[in-house]
Amino acid sequence: MALKAPRGTADLYGRQAQAWNSIRQAAFDFFAGYGYQPIETPTFEQLDVFVRGIGEATDVVGKEMFLVNDKNGLDRIAAGEKPGAGEQLALRPEMTAGVCRAVVEHNLVPPDATTVKLVYAATMYRHERPQKGRMREFHQIGAECLGAAEPSADAEVIVMLMRFFKGWGIPQQSMRLLINSMGDDACRPAFRDKVRSYILEHADSLCEDCVRRADTNPLRAFDCKNAACQAVLVDAPQITDELCEDCKTHYAAVKALLDGAGLTYEEDPRLVRGLDYYTRTVFEVQVTSGLGSQNAIGGGGRYDKLIQEFGGKPTPGLGFAVGFERMLMALEAVGTADFAVAAPEVFVAAVDEDMRFEAFGLAQKLRDAGVPVELDHQRRSLKSQFKQADKSGALFVVVVGPAELAEGKVTLRTLDTREEQQMTLSELIVCLKAFYRQ
């Protein structure tokens, strides 16, 4: 049987690979303007990083993990023992937990430090049922801001994200920015209890999942895709009515800053997002066309307790992640997904076999001078090299022939006009560089 990529994964090549490269690079450059520096963490972590960081009762950890055991772990399992913590690993379903683990491990935010801002672009793994915009391996670009408790940090992160999307040509009217506050340790427990009671009171009209989660993670009911459940939950308690004074003040300040920045947003008191670590501000960006039900292109929030959960000193934090695959679909829907794969515009052709050595050397000299160059590696005839150059989208062919070479010259042929001009190597470099400067 022919070998295939695993279900829910996709090879990125051609335009899509170019898109990933361009969007991730643009994110690094754009976020750098807000003080973000790149970070990379391992693709897999100790399972505990996700269990403690994201929460066992979440779908991401409870249902969707790709577990990995190293050799020692497998040996232990074979011997009927339990693998040790360092032997039980999982592919990352998201990046925040791993980043916070790294922040604590390397003490990246010491108590007197200014805010530390980190940006990443990486693959994530979730064992979900694949559908349009939902994959088992997907790419996220994200940012984490650590050490800042002020509402201005929340607003800055949201403004940066919206400007990033706008910079890629997604008009504001094609996006919905949803925001909410999830409260904190002072007010959320009481709210959770109220939601739990509400679910149990309405158990007959809710799906099994919602009822089952009543004790472990009642807020997840708000994310339930079942329309009947949503209808029942319309009258459920709302967090905005339950926020403590501090959370209320924080939320009001964030909104005032967003208003001041001219951002349109919708308050959605039922936006809870699937991960346990969020406190206070949460947000999600949805697009209004092209994505069907998986319409969230990015989301994030504040996680003021996460660093402590990993054994670090109390350090507030917040961040977001953008789903690359969905962002690309959104760009396609608005017609700004222009990711042509560019080939070098200069092709060095050898007139005959004897000239190949010279052509090879010349190509390298041109590249050293900063001119992108392609040449034939398939022993093609001169005519066929011209055809190949034309097909690749090249604009010029530099022809290396014995007669010209004897005079220290080559021929520069402009493909569309078929004009030819003989010149020395240094003239050629000046000529091509001048072209690239235009």
140 binds ligand AMP (CB under 6 A): yes
Q: Compare residues 92 and 413 and give the one whose CB is closer to ligand AMP.
A: 92
Give Cβ neighbours of residue 435 (< 8 Å, ≥ 6 apart). 396
Q: Compare residues 198 and 324 and give the one whose CB is closer to ligand AMP.
A: 324
Type of residue found at 276: D
Q: Which of 15, 127, 134, 365 binds ligand AMP (CB under 6 A)?
A: 134
Q: How far is the CB of 124 from ligand AMP (least distance, A)?
A: 7
Q: Compare residues 98 and 298 and give the one whose CB is closer to ligand AMP.
A: 298
Site for ligand AMP in 255-274 (CB under 6 A): 274
Q: How far is the CB of 12 from ligand AMP (least distance, A)?
A: 13
Q: How far is the CB of 170 from ligand AMP (least distance, A)?
A: 13
Cα distance between residue 287 and residue 161, in whole Å: 14
- CA nearest neighbour of 282 among 98, 191, 157: 157
CB atoms near residue 116 (< 10 Å) = 20
Identify whether the C-beta of residue 181 lies closer than 8 Å to the C-beta of residue 280: yes
Site string for ligand AMP, 99-128 (x = CB under 6 A): ---------------------------x-x
Q: Compare residues 328 and 351 and give the one whose CB is closer to ligand AMP.
A: 328
Site string for ligand AMP, 289-328 (x = CB under 6 A): -------xxxx---------------------x-x-xx--
How many residues bind to ligand AMP according to rule CB under 6 A?
A: 17
CB atoms near residue 38 (< 10 Å) = 13
Q: How far is the CB of 287 from ligand AMP (least distance, A)?
A: 10
Please list, residue by residue across 235-260, b when 16 or more beta carbons sit within 10 angstroms of its beta carbon and e when fewer do: ebbbbbebbbeebeebbeebbebbee
CA 431 centroid distance within chain = 40
Q: Angle at the Cα of 310 (from 307 to 313), degrees rounded to 5?
A: 50
Give Cβ neighbours of residue 21 (< 8 Å, ≥ 6 apart). none
214 binds ligand AMP (CB under 6 A): no
Q: Tell me which residues touch ligand AMP (CB under 6 A).
A: 94, 126, 128, 133-135, 138, 140, 274, 296-299, 321, 323, 325-326
